[in-house]
Chain A
Amino acid sequence: MILNGKKKIWSEYQKDIPEDHYFYVRSCIRQNFFPASEKLFLEVVRDRLSLDFFETEHHTTCGGIAYHSDTIPQETVMTIVARQFALMTEAGYKNYVASCITSFGLYTEILDTWHHFPELESKIRDYLWKTTKREFQKPEYLAHASDVVYKLRNKIADQAKYKLVNKENGEPLKVVEHIGCHYSKMFPSKGVGGAEYPYVLTGMIEAWGGEIVDYPERRHCCGFGFRQYLVQANRGYSLSNTHKKFESMAPFKPDMIITNCPGCPYFLDRWQYVIKEMEGTTYGQDGNGIPVFTYEEVAGLVLGYDPWYLGLQMHQTPVEPLLDKIGIRYNKEEKYLL
């Protein structure tokens, strides 16, 4: 691996991410899977870093799950998105930040489609007006929440209580990053670091003391794949994808996985248990599996939040061995008390 080559590519895919004044939209499934992550994000940017991130209870799903499951037409999803933009416009914001990768990908796709087919955009404006009597401005800047955390990574590092290093030997933890298909695979220029060697999570890990390991199936889907997971008959495919990734990363002996997407941490985490049951294989060096985190959770950990406050008890793969490795203090008894 030639690091300079990667750096060269990273330098070609940099975004001018604004630091402040965002309209924040949540993810449908993260609110259920990892509710603490979004809460923490807002807490960190608002309280720790004193930034302006607005959110409203009026926003809805972006329609992405339905869209990718082929159950609603393009115009419908575009009108839903147009309504979100209208909420942003009404709130007086110009920067739009999505917590969900699929939403981010969908917004990017819709904005690009409108760019190439302006008549479609006017049609959607018309639909939105007819249905909700709302009007909207397109966001001046569209970000994914990880872009913001990437932008703020050094500020977070400045306030960090822990580093991603093994307290026993001082060696950086080996971290596997999983970027989520919809982040930059569709529009490489919209992701930090591009699509082939994305930098958004790598940048965070580097800033917080860890070391990223690259592995052959890094680019591979986590296994969610919408139709693959949602339909039970296809669920084996979902599982197989995850299995493939773990088989590929196992020789690199990673300490943890950091993820970018709502579905990925869920599948990378839960499927480890299913693979153990089906195949008898447990990944990870200590036989406890490889713990999987959202980037917000990792940020929270280095900032010194209580692991149970971060919702890590919601994970299937136990996180305690890793916490011990870093030296994060926690109270065993309180795990399920919160």
Chain B
Amino acid sequence: MRERFLFGYDPFVLPFTLGMVFIVLYLLIGSVRIILALNKEERLLLLRSMNPKQLLITAKDVFVDCLLHIKVFKRNILLGYMHFSIAFGWFMIILVGHLEVILYTPQRNGVLYYPVFFRYFVMETQQTLRGAFFFFLMDLFLLMILSGVALAIFKRFRSMALGMRRTTKLKIGDRFVLYSLWAIFPLRLLAESFTANISGGSFLTKSINHLVHGFVTNPDNALPIWWSYSIALGVFLFTLPFSRYMHIPTEIILIFLRNAGIKSTSYRNGYAESEIYSCSRCGICIDACPMGVNRGDIKFSTVYTIRLLRRRENPHEGAEKCLMCNKCVEVCPVGINSTRLKLLYRQSVNDSGQHDFSYLSLLRESDSSGKVLYYAGCMTHLTPGIYRSLFNILDKAGVEYSFMDKDGSVCCGRPLMLSGDVKGAGELIKKNTELIKASGCKTLLLSCPICYKIFRDEYKLEGIEVIHHSVYINNLLKSGKIKVKRGTGKYVYHDPCELGRGAGIYEQPRELLSETGILMDSPEERGESICCGGSLGSLTMSCDKRRKITEHALDVLNTNKPDIVATACPLCMRTFSPLNKKSETADIAQIISRNLI
């Protein structure tokens, strides 16, 4: 292998080289900006994460997330392959390209464009059969990429085949980048094929070279195609920052920051910016979003809200309408905590400070020393069947308990928190904490996942176990304090957002139901459970639209024709029961209470 040209340069490399310089500078400046926007603590965290062990973990995460796209694979194999083939293939081509340079033209090592246009600058000699291995690899990865690109083009027209009912609607800028991306690899193939008789090639490039030999062997024809290839790359690199493909480099920064333990503290700057730019607009969240059943609301799904944030436009409508069910976060291949961004946005506009909770000082605690303290919360007061069933179970198990909010409750603060009013929520949290601590209880038992979520995450109740009734009852059953009869009832379990995705409790309710009947699968469950539509997370969604969501969720839950749709949340139950015409709706406590022996 030897160089064809003395200077190892041709003007056609300019578009790429300039693009590359541009993008590197852009990324550098961007990273500095993000780091500057971090506060002191966060920067300290970042600094501390710069140890070998942490770096190794981050490298692994980058490899798994950015190159292998394991999360996308999990969602849909074809979709995963599409992402994997392009990302990993491209990465390998770059890697192998550099290897080639190091091995064959070490004097050109470090020249930015050389590995990219290697085939143009070298010619095969008698001795360089060694290169055939790399030629093979290069053609193989190129083929891999091309298959990915083909899939991508196919997806544009038939997204369903790749497991996506809806894909993100693109703006003109995005299309520009997309087409240049699509063009890069076929052009590279052609360019390398055109010079394959000089530089050598493998099964792909050589074959094409043979196929159109007469045309290709004229060197005058080769240069324009190399130009085109470089221009495609240049266009891609120049337009990258203004397109969704910015996620490719940004995600690496995001993984760094995330692994350092940093969280967003503003909905727009610092860490949030790295999240916003990491969004590939893949659109997986569109299908996940329960709002999607109302066609007009697709525009409020997370991908578009993040796009507004990236354009520095007002994300108000989407941020306020969102049910905060967290499913988009669950499915996001990049792991963007968009719910947190929306919450931060809400805090910036809804922290009105107009509330007056001075009346709370009138409330007095009850003495519950050593007992289980039960807090029904607002929603469970609307579903007395739940707490009465629970009390029946507790009585049967001989558990001593007291009912903290028998005569009405101070709200747990979660709804206020979700509205963005941290200060108001704080007052409620403070009062409830006082009441609970003063009661002397050892366990705080809750029926409502909305309450459970905030009691677990935000309250500081040292020494008091905070437990949701689905877990508590399961414990009672496991320890033999209660017994249930095993029936033939068919259940489908609906994971409430706050209990499942919110608190990670998926198994205990299922264990419980399996003890007393046949637990069936639902097409979308656990992390992918669909919000019931009643969520207090949404501030502005109308009742009609909520109803559509509920009906859709019920359709999905009733797919396998269960007898009972079981849930573990009073709000889910209130939302489902009037609209569930195909099966009964019941809380897990009610089901167990009915089947106690």
User: Are any A and B Cβ atoms less than 8 Å apart in their complex?
Assistant: no
